[in-house]
């Protein structure tokens, strides 16, 4: 059984640089018929520009898996630490900001 487990085990490498992470306080999600694009943005107060700090491109199937995994983790977080309250959204992003128009 142990040999069978090691065949199905995935080793994931995390470099020191990647382990530091990137702070983002806004995400923009776009999609085409074949993929989802998640842009993670850092907006700073009194700064007219915001830069995309990371972009992740997923198949529709993986996007749905991510949605499920996020929900499961938010539920676990809330059961341990309490409900996450969302303030009213104050940031209005123009519809053409960082838009994704192409299809693969």
Rounded Cα distance, 16 and 56, in Å: 20
Angle at 49 between CA 46 and CA 54, to 5 degrees: 120
86 in a structural domain = no
Domain range enclosing 40: 21-81
102 in a structural domain = no
74 in a structural domain = yes
Helix (H, G, I), strand (E, B) or coil at 33: coil
100 in a structural domain = no
pLDDT tens for the chain, 104 residues: list them. Answer: 455 556 789 999 999 999 999 999 999 999 999 999 999 999 988 888 999 999 999 999 999 999 999 999 999 999 999 999 988 766 555 444 445 555 44
Q: Structurally, how many domains does the chain consist of? A: 1
97 in a structural domain = no
DSSP for residue 48: S
34 in a structural domain = yes
């Amino acid at each position: 059984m142990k040999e069978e487990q090691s065949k199905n085990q995935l080793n994931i490498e995390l470099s020191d640089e990647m382990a530091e992470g990137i702070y983002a306080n806004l995400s923009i999600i776009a999609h085409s018929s074949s993929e989802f694009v998640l842009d993670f943005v850092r907006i700073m107060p009194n700064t007219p520009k915001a830069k995309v700090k990371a972009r992740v491109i997923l198949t529709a199937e993986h996007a749905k898996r991510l949605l499920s995994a996020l929900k499961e983790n938010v539920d676990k977080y809330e059961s341990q630490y309490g409900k996450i309250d969302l303030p009213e959204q104050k940031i209005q992003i123009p519809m053409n900001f960082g838009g994704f128009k192409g299809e693969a």
